[in-house]
Structure 1
Amino acid sequence: MTATILDGKAFAARLRQRIAGDVERLRADGITPGLAVVLVGEDPASAVYVRNKGRQTREVGMKSVEHRLDAGVAQDALLTLIGELNADASIHGILVQLPLPGHIDSAAVLDAIDPAKDVDGFHVLNVGRLATGQKAMVPCTPLGCLMMLRDHHGSLSGMEAVVVGRSNIVGKPMAQLLLGDDCTVTVAHSRTRDLTGVVRRADIVVAAVGRPGMVQGDWIKPGATVIDVGINRVDAGEGKTRLVGDVDFDGAVRVAGAITPVPGGVGPMTIACLLANTLTACCRAHGLPEPEGLTP
């Protein structure tokens, strides 16, 4: 058996195209969704990520605003900026790029964002709403995973899912989303007893632990769907590096029914879902019907 490759790059392109069409219709009515991204410091990886977000935001016709602050900025100054963005009716989504410098309390900053504009889905109110099945802003990476699973399977009802990883950013919200789609969900992690056995019974495996190749090919149930969230840079010899996931792709692809590659799987979906969340937030702010399929 050779697994079907779930092409996140192609899926994200189709999603952005759909969002662009929705934005065009909103603009025809005088409404332009706006996304503000705040970058503190000069971390090279974060700077590239922010630049890509801005480019893709503009490409779908949204308003893109970037605030780049010095690494030594005072926390109060950052909170003041967030307050101004909260009050700006032309901004529907606010994202503060993580990680923040050590002198800034990340939790305080994230909680200062208006939950209705929290397009990262990290505000404690959105976390609680998701956990209790209420309307929430959903973290982008888990939302992208759910979209790909629904696209591949249709209904997920009754499937057994194992999420390997318990982070607040991916593992926990992913489990909540799968529960919402009527899966039987197990959250596993590095301390799970018989992790191999737990993974082997899953129809759906979502790996999000940040350890290259941790989930081995022979852990996968034949025909299972594998969503690899991991993005790890490893030594490729001769001074070069390469990106790999949390799953041993070469082993798993021979057993799984479907699998996401790294790179080109879940990664491209994250920014696309950020745009989807911004569109959703804009529609909610204006009392308009939400586009179908962009929220759980």
Structure 2
Amino acid sequence: MALNVPKRWQRKNGLQRPLSPAQIILLVIFVFGAVAGFGIFLPDIPGLWQTVGYTCLTVMYVWDFISYVLAVSINPSSGGEQNSMWNPVKCVWDSKTHCCHVGRHESVQGINFFCKTCNKLVEHHDHHCEWLNTCIGGRNYCFFFNTIVSGLLIALQLSVMACYIISVYYTLPYSRGTDTMAEIATMLLKARGQSLPLLPGELAAIVTFAIASVSAAIYTLVFAVLGTFIIFHIRLYCIGMSTSEYIFTGRKRRMQEEENVDVEACKTELSDKDFETVKDNSQ
């Protein structure tokens, strides 16, 4: 049927309120990693590795921040008259695939998709990202991909540094006979040269161990998730499909399989003559 898109609020970019819960979680993880990495982990790493760590983490955080800001601030819809949600667009809505057919056939490089969350038609639509609170399309896809790649590298460095802190300052000392947190605290303060005395003595050792343990768990999980995303998108690039096209193709294949199953079930319940009669009547 013909669908007239209503004139109502539309999301222009991922910085508009309300922020999605996933986006807030992402920002918390981003800030927590910066505080833990620059303020706690790197001061405890000795020698040349500390300089290398500061350089790498700074470059990756700047890279990730710029990519994130561009990905969420660019409107994936051009805002032209043909697909502006402030000017109603007529299209044929497919309730099974949740896609606007007119949009799908207008694009050469990918499908144009009407996102109900953003209330707009997105050019070369890939997917709606809850973590960025916006749709990912042809206009911001490269910045989205840079965001997840830089995020993957940040998660890798933070998880490695957290595991280093746990092993060098906690696991190994206990295995060598260090029995108290006070002795470990002395080692930590000596390693960082009193450069960041956030907390005194034994309390500093306990807090550092807790933050390192939480960071190791969080950023190892983030690394695994982002790694999976990157492999998935590289695979889509190799086969020349977007995420939306991949989903639509899967839905279409499943619907065809279900229809074939229904036909086969009818064949088993009816005689050949009855089945041919039903088939002719349906046509």
Q: Relative to total residues, which structure has the larger strand share, 1 or 2? A: 1
Q: Relative to total residues, which structure has the larger helix share, 1 or 2? A: 2
Q: Give the TM-score category using the shorter length.
A: under 0.3
Could you say which structure has the larger radius of gyration?
2
Give the TM-score taking structure 1 as reference length: 0.23
